[in-house]
Structure 1
Amino acid sequence: MITTSPSEFLEAYAALAPLPDAAATARAAYLVAPAEFTLATESARDNRYMDMSLTVDPLKALAQHSALAQALRGDCPVITFPGNPATPDAVFPNNVFGTAPGRLIIGRMRHAVRQREAERTDIRNFFGDVLGYDEIDLSGCEDLVAELTGSLIIDRVRGVGYCGLSERCDLAGAHAMHQAFDLRLTFCFELAEFEYHTNVVLALLASRAAIIAADGFRDPAVPQAIAKAYGDRAIWLTPAQKQAYAGNAITLSDERVWMSACAVSSLTDEQIEALSGYGFAVGAVDLSEIEKAGGSLRCCVGEIY
């Protein structure tokens, strides 16, 4: 079922029992290292988190990315694929490659500079030849835009997707991802003007709590409905905290939420205490150089289910 109605979503959500044996977090993760890291002018056209006036230090970005991989290994196995100088800002692979058990999904990116990432045969072959995953390739579908888990936040325990519609994902893309990820319910909604991806305004924490930036949604009833679905176990972000990427968070275990050092420093003591009450310690990694490219920690992490 796909719905755009908050009330219809809540009614359908209440009828869903958790999936048997479904894992709340990924069994492993993968990253793509920065190579000759630069900012892409094309991506900046609809990513208002980017500031093209900033200069970047490629070696600092590489060092921060390596530290991220090492930190995340505390929660799950992590694989790092080498970067490609032909796609120097390609450090956010979760938009291009996604997984469900036994399946690799390849997204349809909006910009040509990101579409080139989908052509990587080493990543495709790793999932196909090494892990034996079936491939669902949306990258050649010219009648849709579907930037995977940048646009689609997934509750893996219930098979529920939260899809923000923007320049980076249209309704046709939402339908394609609903099928590709084999979801039972997808709640589609429009993001606020100037928002490009759902994963900067919403994070689900091991399918039991949420981080929400209410101003990132066009209809205020949408974030309220999402919070209600999780028993109001929600951390509500201010616009400044959203800008600091506090919504760009991920859980790779049941006990810890990861976000950038900038994001963590924006949180209040009360918010950190609330996360602790939900059962989550907070892990932080300095990604200040990578964040200049308009994404943060969650964007860097591809999940392997």
Structure 2
Amino acid sequence: MITRDTGAFLAHARTCAPDFGPPTARAAFLVAPDGFRLATQSALDNRYMADAAAFDAQHASMQHRALHAAFAQSLPTVCFAGNPETPDAVFPNNVFGTAAGRVVIGRMRHEVRRREAARTDIRAFFTDVLGYEAVDLSTQPHACELTGALVIDRARGLGFAGLSERCDEAGARLMHEAFGLRATLMFDLAPGEYHTNVVLAVLAGRAALIAPAGFADATAVDAIEALYAPHVARLGAREHAAFVANSIALDPHSAWMSAAAAAALEPATRDVLAGAGFTVREVDLSAIEAAGGSLRCCVGEVF
């Protein structure tokens, strides 16, 4: 099922047992912020990006190395070299995603990011080293920026596709099929939002962090809340702006987010995470966040 009908989606999703697959990844991959600078094309529809003067490549590199070291405490994590010709490559989850035995390569809206999909080393890592089948969406015309646009509940096989310039309905359908999902809910993001994973996190299939202001359709917020209740936090403006929804569970008991996001957590949100069995783990990504994304955006998951 792939639908805009929130009632139909919720009814079907409630029948989906958490037996689709592991709720968290078995490994992660990163791309170093080499050549880290303002990507002017990406800035056209990413209101979270800072001005060029705020980009500090050396500081971003140091923080990224600390992120790699922190993740390595939870699961195997590899890091690919960056490329000055692809300044947004530090956010690889938009371009490369995985499902069991498959690597999915997305179609990016902006040309500067389409270059990332052509990387032969990352492609070969999945196809030649891991033996994954490649599902290449990068050459078709519909924007589908993978797990930036599509938040996935890996335990139940559910997708939440926020539509914007970065993902249209056709792109959402292509991703739904590529990841082999049981059901996907499509909804419009609010004007000015570019990716779903900035306004929604589903953590290990059992908790959700939702920034309602990022949704154009309040019924989608209500449906997601109903599905994951009682482990749901509706985020306020401060939490939204600090990338609290750009979080990820890399193991069943850790909710990873940036230090800025952790500092912005309201007590009620902390209580929701604790009640769902999560410990908040944070890494300072202040320099990287100048590029308009945060911790979850940096993580490529290997399932």
What is the TM-score when the length of structure 2 is the normalising length?
0.98
Are the aligned partners of 2:259 and 2:285 in contact in 1 as well (CA < 8 Å)?
yes
Moved over 4 A (4+): none
Deviation, 1:15, is 2.0
Are the aligned partners of 2:91 and 2:298 in contact in 1 as well (CA < 8 Å)?
yes
Partner of 1:95: 94
What amino acid sits opposite 1:79 in the alignment? V
Are the aligned partners of 2:36 and 2:56 in contact in 1 as well (CA < 8 Å)?
yes
What amino acid sits opposite 1:138 in the alignment? L
Alignment deviations for residues 185-237 of structure 1 (CA, whole Å, 9 cap, x no partner) = 01000001100000000000100010000111001111111010112311111
Partner of 1:6: 6
Are the aligned partners of 2:235 and 2:269 in contact in 1 as well (CA < 8 Å)?
no
Q: Are residue 181 (structure 1) and residue 216 (structure 2) matched?
A: no
CA distance in 2, matches of 1:59, 1:231: 42
Are the aligned partners of 1:30 and 1:80 in contact in 2 as well (CA < 8 Å)?
yes
CA distance in 2, matches of 1:270, 1:12: 29
What amino acid sits opposite 1:181 in the alignment? F
Are the aligned partners of 1:41 and 1:52 in contact in 2 as well (CA < 8 Å)?
no
What amino acid sits opposite 1:152 in the alignment? L
CA distance in 2, matches of 1:293, 1:53: 9
CA distance in 1, matches of 2:194, 2:230: 25
Q: Are residue 165 (structure 1) and residue 169 (structure 2) matched?
A: no
Unaligned 5+ segments in structure 1 are none
Are the aligned partners of 1:61 and 1:289 in contact in 2 as well (CA < 8 Å)?
yes
User: What SS is found at the alignment partner of 1:54?
Assistant: helix
CA distance in 2, matches of 1:288, 1:18: 35
User: What SS is found at the alignment partner of 2:251?
Assistant: coil
CA distance in 1, matches of 2:271, 2:186: 31
CA distance in 2, matches of 1:54, 1:119: 29
Partner of 1:50: 49
Are the aligned partners of 1:44 and 1:52 in contact in 2 as well (CA < 8 Å)?
no
CA distance in 1, matches of 2:191, 2:122: 33
Partner of 1:240: 238
User: What SS is found at the alignment partner of 1:259?
Assistant: strand
Partner of 1:217: 215
CA distance in 2, matches of 1:151, 1:54: 28
Deviation, 1:53, is 4.9
After TM superposition, the structure 1 = structure 2 runs for residues 181-200 of structure 1, keeping only pairs within 5 Å, are 181-200=179-198
Partner of 1:270: 268
Alignment deviations for residues 259-291 of structure 1 (CA, whole Å, 9 cap, x no partner) = 000000001233212211110000010000000
Q: Identity, % of aligned pairs?
A: 55
Partner of 1:295: 293
CA distance in 1, matches of 2:183, 2:272: 28
What amino acid sits opposite 2:138 in the alignment? S
After TM superposition, the structure 1 = structure 2 runs for residues 240-259 of structure 1, keeping only pairs within 5 Å, are 240-259=238-257
Deviation, 1:106, is 0.1
Deviation, 1:55, is 2.6
CA distance in 2, matches of 1:152, 1:31: 19
After TM superposition, the structure 1 = structure 2 runs for residues 46-195 of structure 1, keeping only pairs within 5 Å, are 46-142=45-141, 144-195=142-193
CA distance in 1, matches of 2:155, 2:276: 17
Of residues 230-239 and 90-99 in structure 1, the stretch that sits farther from structure 2 once superposed is 230-239
Partner of 2:19: 19
Are the aligned partners of 2:231 and 2:273 in contact in 1 as well (CA < 8 Å)?
no
Are the aligned partners of 2:233 and 2:268 in contact in 1 as well (CA < 8 Å)?
no
Are the aligned partners of 1:54 and 1:292 in contact in 2 as well (CA < 8 Å)?
no
Are the aligned partners of 1:106 and 1:138 in contact in 2 as well (CA < 8 Å)?
yes
Unaligned 5+ segments in structure 2 are none
Deviation, 1:88, is 2.3
Deviation, 1:90, is 1.4
What amino acid sits opposite 2:17 in the alignment? A
Alignment deviations for residues 168-195 of structure 1 (CA, whole Å, 9 cap, x no partner) = 0000000100110001101000001100
Alignment deviations for residues 132-178 of structure 1 (CA, whole Å, 9 cap, x no partner) = 00000000002x11000000000111111000000000000001001
What amino acid sits opposite 2:32 in the alignment? A
